[in-house]
Amino acid sequence: MAMYGVDIFSSLAKQYGPIYRFHLGRQPLVIVADAELCREVGMRFKDFPCRSLPSPITGSPLLLKGLFSSRGPTWSAMRNAVTSIYQPTHVGTHLPAMQTCIETLTHYISTTTDDVVHFSNLFLRMTNDVIGKTAFGVDFGLISTTNSTASEEDDDEDSRFIKHIRSTTSLKMDLTASFSTILGLLLPILQEPFRHLLRRIPGTADHQIDIANATLKETMEDIVARRVREVADEDRGPAKKDFLSVILNVREAKGGKFKELITDDHVSALTYEHLLAGSTATSFTLAAVLYLVAKHPEVEERLQREIDGFGPIDVVPTPIELREGFPYLDQVLKESMRFYTSSPLIAREADHDVEIAGYKLPKGTWVWLGVSVLHNDPKNFPEPHLFRPERFDPDGDEERRRNPYSYIPFGIGPRECIGQRFAIQEIKLSLVHLYQRFIFRCSPEMEDPPELEYGMTHKFKHGVKLQVVKRGVKVA
């Protein structure tokens, strides 16, 4: 797999062992590449280093990270409130909205005249639509307005929205990133003055991000304003329980204690960041599964047998059936997230002086967990370069022998992903629906293996482009 950021960490890990310390400018940084050490850091550290990533809405560090941070007075209230809406019982209530979006996507695939379907693009639209409906009560309609698989180049409102998501997640850790972002990593004090200067200079990444931010800020502000009005109206009726309502309720709760801390700008920024968190990794994972299964006929055959055995194609699985009724699909999904890990690096920051593996880390040290290094460690995943879903068979030796902390696609500890149940439900629902109706083949346009690009998360540099073959309608 071509993973340049991760390759560097893998070779550092090989050379220096499971813990490697150095300085990035004046910033102490430690890279950890061992399951037990990752568990220790993940469980003990609550903070993220977030200085270098400006929020598109406020220009300040990403707020989701900041607001959930143990240093902010709102941490427990905010994260606990948001976590409550992603519990299994509540996640199940989102299934109909997810189903509507996957049906719209299926309609598009069935009727398109294009020979090749750009699935990375389509899934990004679909996952944004799902978050819009379930977290903000808004229908972005990104899937229903898709008119071409090549729409990346279109400049309509919708694709600008999608382009923004793409450009934000492409804040690269190389020299093509916005200069002020790179500077923020090395000399945080100079970041803001430079950003102010660069955003006025056409052609710079800072300038382009600035233009896109203006449109996006407006969209997010509209969503928040509408929801604020609806939440006020709900005083007279049953309260909605979606992400935005929960945030607004925390702000209003307890005699308005949080009102000054959580400004409208903060809410808009949180809204946008939630959109990013909920859409990019999910769409990347969906595209990864389609590609990997298309490349492995024996996996495709077994998966289709399991899905066909579920029943007639017009019966939508319930949340419980999705959780318990597709054991092989579970294995395929886990192996796909190991093979193509969406977040190959998880970042933490020491909020006090700590000792890890005998090393004293001063307060403020950044600690990066090398997740992809763990996921490719032959000790826990023999022949890691092979796509082999059976390695996750709960009755298999490999699964039983494995260190449980060697596989952490959703992170670990008090800051692990809050949306993992939601994501797994959405992904499994989509895959059952798609494999009931289609098989997928790699198009000649697609490189093999696909090139990965590492920004805030992994993405397929040129997208996953597949040919779609309709299956005969089966009567079970």
Binding residues for heme: 417
Which residues, 120 to 179, sit near ligand HEM by CB under 6 A? Answer: none
Q: Residue 207 Cβ, how far from ligand HEM at the closest point, in Å?
A: 29
Q: With binding defined as CB under 6 A, does residue 419 bind ligand HEM?
A: yes
Only segment of 21-29, 139-147, 340-348, 397-405 that touches ligand HEM (CB under 6 A): 340-348
Q: With binding defined as CB under 6 A, does residue 416 bind ligand HEM?
A: yes
Q: With binding defined as CB under 6 A, does residue 417 bind ligand HEM?
A: yes
Only segment of 62-70, 91-99, 294-302, 378-386 that touches ligand HEM (CB under 6 A): 62-70
Q: How far is CA 138 from the centre of its chain?
A: 20
Q: Residue 410 Cβ, how far from ligand HEM at the closest point, in Å?
A: 5
Nearer to ligand HEM, 206 or 455 (CB): 455
Q: With binding defined as CB under 6 A, does residue 429 bind ligand HEM?
A: no
According to DSSP, the β-strands at 458-460 and 465-470 are: unpaired
Q: With binding defined as CB under 6 A, does residue 278 bind ligand HEM?
A: yes
Q: With binding defined as CB under 6 A, does residue 292 bind ligand HEM?
A: no
Residues 6+ apart with CB under 8 A from 312: 475, 476
Q: With binding defined as CB under 6 A, does residue 423 bind ligand HEM?
A: yes
Answer for which of 125, 199, 296, 415 binds ligand HEM (CB under 6 A) is: 415
> Any idea how long the chain is?
476
Q: With binding defined as CB under 6 A, does residue 45 bind ligand HEM?
A: no
Q: Residue 16 Cβ, how far from ligand HEM at the closest point, in Å?
A: 23
Answer for which of 19, 53, 63, 64 binds ligand HEM (CB under 6 A) is: 64
The β-bridge partners of 469 are: 439
For residue 197, what are its two tokens?
């200067």
Whether the bond into 54 is cis, omega within 30 of 0: no
Q: With binding defined as CB under 6 A, does residue 117 bind ligand HEM?
A: no
Nearer to ligand HEM, 183 or 346 (CB): 346
Q: Residue 82 Cβ, how far from ligand HEM at the closest point, in Å?
A: 7
Q: With binding defined as CB under 6 A, does residue 281 bind ligand HEM?
A: yes
Q: With binding defined as CB under 6 A, does residue 65 bind ligand HEM?
A: yes
Q: With binding defined as CB under 6 A, does residue 346 bind ligand HEM?
A: yes
Q: With binding defined as CB under 6 A, does residue 333 bind ligand HEM?
A: no
Q: With binding defined as CB under 6 A, does residue 10 bind ligand HEM?
A: no
Q: How far is CA 94 from the centre of its chain?
A: 18
Nearer to ligand HEM, 423 or 452 (CB): 423
Nearer to ligand HEM, 181 or 283 (CB): 283
Answer for which of 27, 34, 63, 79 binds ligand HEM (CB under 6 A) is: 79
In degrees and rounded to multiples of 5, residue 30 shows phi and psi of -125, 135
Q: With binding defined as CB under 6 A, does residue 296 bind ligand HEM?
A: no
Which residues, 391 to 410, sit near ligand HEM by CB under 6 A? Answer: 409-410
Q: With binding defined as CB under 6 A, does residue 5 bind ligand HEM?
A: no
Nearer to ligand HEM, 151 or 341 (CB): 341
Q: With binding defined as CB under 6 A, does residue 370 bind ligand HEM?
A: no
Chain positions contacting ligand HEM, by CB under 6 A: 64-65, 68, 79, 274, 277-278, 281-282, 285, 342-343, 346, 409-412, 415-419, 422-423
